[in-house]
Structure 1
Amino acid sequence: MMTTMLSPEIVTVPSLVDRCDSCNAAAKAEIALSSGGSLVFCGHHANKHADRLVLLASKVTVEDGFEWAGQSHPA
C-alpha cells in the first residue's frame, strides 16, 4: 500500500495579528496542524522549520508579501 502526501492548503491574508510561538516577534505564518491545533511563527522560524511543518500542516496562512519556504516544497 502506498501513502500519498498532500501539500497543505496555503492561504494569503493581508496581515496576521499574533506573535511567534518561538520568539514573540510579529507573526508571518499560522500553521493549522493535521492533528489539530495550530502554531504561529515569525518569518525566520516559519522558514527555518518549513520542511517539517509542511508535513504536519493541513493549512498554512501566510501574511501577504511573506515568502514561505514551504510553498515550493514538493509533497
Structure 2
Amino acid sequence: MMETRIRKVGNSAVMTLTGEMLALLDVKPGDTLFVVRGDDGSLKLLPQDPAVAEALAAAEDVMDENRDLLQALA
C-alpha cells in the first residue's frame, strides 16, 4: 500500500503521485489517467479508458477471426 496526501491548489484538490506510483501505472507527467469507481466504493486509477480498451480488444478478436476476409478486402 502506498500513501499520498490531498492538498488544495486554487479551487481544486490535488493528489500527488510519487515516482514509484507513476512507474507502476507506466505513465508520465502530462498523461491522462482514468478514475473508475468499483462496486465496493473503491477508486481505480487506469492509464487508459477501460471502455476504449474493451472496444479495441473486441475489434482485435473480430480482426483475428476474419483475417483472411479482411486481407481479401484490402
TM norm structure 2: 0.28
Higher relative contact order (CA 8 A, sep 6+): 1
Greater fraction of residues in helix: 2
Larger Rg: 2
Q: Which has the higher strand share?
A: 1
